[in-house]
């Protein structure tokens, strides 16, 4: 089965990624020393650590099994700014890339999609957020008592839940 999928995928022009928004990794960069910021010669030389600016891509350096063939490198993308606390990045695990798209193009598309169709930048691209919310609605409907059947769905929702 895996060989059949691998044979069909290059012709599809398909990019497949998994997004992980609950990562325990934080990225910060060294700022100037406080003495240099204030211009005070008597101030202590303590470095400040700041959040990364939005749009920064950090390549993931994850251990990979020896028998696993890496198709494309995974990466972390900082899509929003955080003024209050340490910003959390989203990990993009790239499993397959399209022959027509380079990984840098995928990174740019992911950054643009996280900043488009939203009043402010979000961690996840809008298409991922919509799919996540729709799956939430579908899960609640499937777990309902009495058991949900196709004819019980209202027609507007029925058109959105075509996969049921």
Has residue 89 been placed in a domain? yes
pLDDT in tens, 78-124: 877 777 667 778 888 887 777 788 888 888 888 888 777 666 667 77
pLDDT exceeds cutoff 60 at 14: yes
Has residue 31 been placed in a domain? no
Task: Work out the pLDDT band at 146, boundaries 50, 70, 90.
Answer: confident
Alpha-carbon dihedral sign for residues 142, 144, 148, 153: negative
Q: What is the pLDDT of residue 119?
A: 66
In which domain, by residue range, is 95 found? 2-26+54-124
Q: What is the mean pLDDT of residues 61-73?
A: 63
Has residue 15 been placed in a domain? yes
Has residue 117 been placed in a domain? yes
- Count the domains in the chain: 1
Q: What is the pLDDT of residue 70?
A: 60
pLDDT in tens, 15-37: 778 888 777 777 777 766 554 55
Has residue 95 been placed in a domain? yes
Tokens of residue 163, six digits:
């996969």
- Per the rule left: phi > 0, alpha: psi between -120 and 50, beta: everything else, 13 is left
Q: What is the pLDDT of residue 163?
A: 56
Has residue 48 been placed in a domain? no
The H-assigned helical ranges of the chain are 2-12, 34-38, 103-115, 126-142, 155-160
The H-assigned helical ranges of 116-162 are 126-142, 155-160
pLDDT exceeds cutoff 80 at 12: no
Q: What is the pLDDT of residue 161?
A: 60
Has residue 112 been placed in a domain? yes
Has residue 18 been placed in a domain? yes
Q: What is the pLDDT of residue 40?
A: 57
Taking the whole predicted model, whether its pTM rises above 0.85 is answered as no
Angle at 80 between CA 77 and CA 81, to 5 degrees: 120
């Amino acid at each position: 089965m895996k060989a059949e999928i691998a044979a069909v995928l290059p012709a599809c022009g398909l990019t497949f990624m998994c997004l992980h928004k609950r990562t325990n990794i934080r990225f910060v960069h060294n700022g100037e020393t406080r003495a240099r910021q204030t211009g005070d010669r008597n101030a202590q030389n303590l470095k400040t650590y700041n959040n990364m600016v939005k749009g920064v891509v950090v390549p993931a350096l994850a251990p990979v099994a020896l028998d696993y063939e890496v198709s494309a490198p995974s990466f972390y993308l900082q899509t929003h700014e955080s003024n209050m606390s340490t910003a959390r990045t989203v990990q993009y695990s790239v499993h397959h890339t399209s022959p027509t798209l380079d990984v840098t193009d995928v990174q740019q598309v992911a950054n643009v999609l996280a900043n488009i169709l939203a009043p402010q930048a979000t961690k996840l691209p809008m298409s991922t957020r919509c799919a996540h919310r729709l799956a939430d609605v579908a899960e609640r409907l499937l777990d309902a008592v009495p058991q949900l059947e196709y004819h019980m769905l209202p027609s507007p929702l029925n058109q959105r839940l075509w996969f049921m």
